Amino acid sequence: MDRVNIIHRPIGEVGLWFSGEEAGYVFIVSDRNVRRWADRTGIKAKGILEIDALEDYKSFGTVVDICRWLMEMGADRNSILVGIGGGVTTDITGFAASVYKRGIRFAFVPTTLLSQVDAAIGGKNGVNLDSFKNMIGVIRQPDAVFICPEPLDTLPYTQIISGAAELLKTFIIDNSKGLYGKAVETLSRIREAGGKLDGYSGILGELISEAAAIKAGIAGRDPFERDERRLLNLGHTFGHAIEKESGESVPHGNAVAMGIILAARLAENTGLAEKGLTERLEADFKACGIPTGCPFEIGRLTEAMRKDKKAEGGLVHFVLPFKVGHVETRSLSPDDVTRLLQE
């Protein structure tokens, strides 16, 4: 598998990468809300298409619209499609580029914290099918992912919180550089500053760059999620169940954070985690402004866990944190998990 080309640079310098005669036509799909950032990249695009970054539009219909637009604009097989926006935009764009003319090159400029540390990294590109998330998709790497600090300046604090859970998740999985503590400290300071990033974007930049590198490393070693990549699902089995049970009213990042706390409790109740891990993580997440309390009694999540799309033969892979920097997977039945958490 090709290594992911993650490029950290100011947004005004992104366009330089696309210059040169062999570069081919460049087309941009931009989230309507970040059009100003798309214009600041300095990319000389042959066309720019604005889309609404809503989960409902993360559909096959939008992919068809993009492909039709590319065809009308004369995009050939040497063209490159650039997705600028959060995870909704990068997921749709990566998928459209992967199927248009059997696949053209693509690149991303992720503009949310979540997409910079997670969605734009790792090569999973896809769209929803009816109410089933990410049901249709491909695994294919972009030619480049540009991580620029500036777009975070316009990101609402709720979106910072949504990405914060994935950022902390990454350092719970791999704390080899001791960045979990630094991430908690930085996110707590941002919360204390009323959600303003001023003065913190520099430090956050280092954390984003390390988290993106960790995800890229894991996804590069196990692109098809047969082994190590499963670890990235820490908090997600419970998280998806919480999202489903809440009718999607609990945001994904918050659901993942609640899921990590449940996974820690499960690991402690089975004697696998170090004592006090759950309380430590809960306190850290709260300090960062991330909600941790699952709004439902655990029994209500059992059915949703059973229907988890990664369930195999009645067993579900749960990622359990043993301590910060050490997580492992265990295949467990949702009924056993429910019983263990009710103890």
Ligand X SMILES: NC(=O)c1ccc[n+]([C@@H]2O[C@H](COP(=O)([O-])OP(=O)(O)OC[C@H]3O[C@@H](n4cnc5c(N)ncnc54)[C@H](O)[C@@H]3O)[C@@H](O)[C@H]2O)c1
Residues 6+ apart with CB under 8 A from 90: 83, 108, 110, 115, 119, 120, 125
Residue 53 touches ligand X, criterion: CB under 6 A = yes
Residues 6+ apart with CB under 8 A from 226: none
- Which residue, among 16, 42, 12, has the nearest Cα to 28 in the 3D structure? 42
As a residue count, the chain comes to: 343
Mark the segment that binds ligand X (CB under 6 A) among 16-24, 148-156, 240-248, 279-287.
148-156
**CB closer to ligand X out of 11 and 273:** 11
> Least CB distance from residue 108 to ligand X, whole Å?
10
**CB closer to ligand X out of 117 and 273:** 117
Q: What is the distance, to the nearest Å, from the Cα of residue 146 to the centroid of all Cα atoms in its chain?
A: 15
- Tokens at residue 202, please? 């520099």
> Least CB distance from residue 60 to ligand X, whole Å?
14
Task: Determine the Cα–Cα distance for residues 152 and 144; give it in Å rounded to an integer.
Answer: 19
Cβ-based neighbour number of residue 236 at 10 Å: 24
> Least CB distance from residue 340 to ligand X, whole Å?
28
What does the DSSP assignment read for 250-290?
Answer: S-HHHHHHHHHHHHHHHHHHTT-SPTTHHHHHHHHHHHTT-
Residue 207 touches ligand X, criterion: CB under 6 A = no
Mark the segment that binds ligand X (CB under 6 A) among 63-71, 155-163, 197-205, 223-231.
155-163
Going residue by residue from 161 to 190, which x/- string records binding to ligand X, judged by CB under 6 A? Answer: -x----------------------------
Residues 201, 204, 205, 210, Cα dihedral to 10°? 180
Structural contact between residues 332 and 265, judged by C-beta atoms closer than 8 angstroms: no
Task: Determine the Cα–Cα distance for residues 79 and 7; give it in Å rounded to an integer.
Answer: 20
**CB closer to ligand X out of 258 and 341:** 258
Residue 201 touches ligand X, criterion: CB under 6 A = no
Using the structure block, give the residue that is written with the tokens 């659901």.
255
Residue 292 touches ligand X, criterion: CB under 6 A = no
By CB under 6 A, name the one of 19, 78, 131, 154 that touches ligand X: 154
Residue 230 touches ligand X, criterion: CB under 6 A = no
Residue 291 touches ligand X, criterion: CB under 6 A = no
Residue 229 touches ligand X, criterion: CB under 6 A = no
By CB under 6 A, name the one of 93, 98, 159, 254 that touches ligand X: 159
Residues 83-142 contacting ligand X, CB under 6 A: 85-89, 91, 111-112, 114-115, 118-119, 122, 124, 133-134
Which residues in 54-166 belong to E strands, given as ranges? 80-85, 105-110, 124-129, 132-139, 144-147
Mark the segment that binds ligand X (CB under 6 A) among 42-50, 153-161, 301-309, 316-324.
153-161
Phi, psi of 149 (to 5 degrees): -75, -30
Tell me the site size for ligand X, rule CB under 6 A: 27
> Least CB distance from residue 176 to ligand X, whole Å?
22
Q: Which residues bind ligand X (CB under 6 A)?
A: 31, 33-34, 53, 55, 58, 85-89, 91, 111-112, 114-115, 118-119, 122, 124, 133-134, 151, 154-155, 159, 162
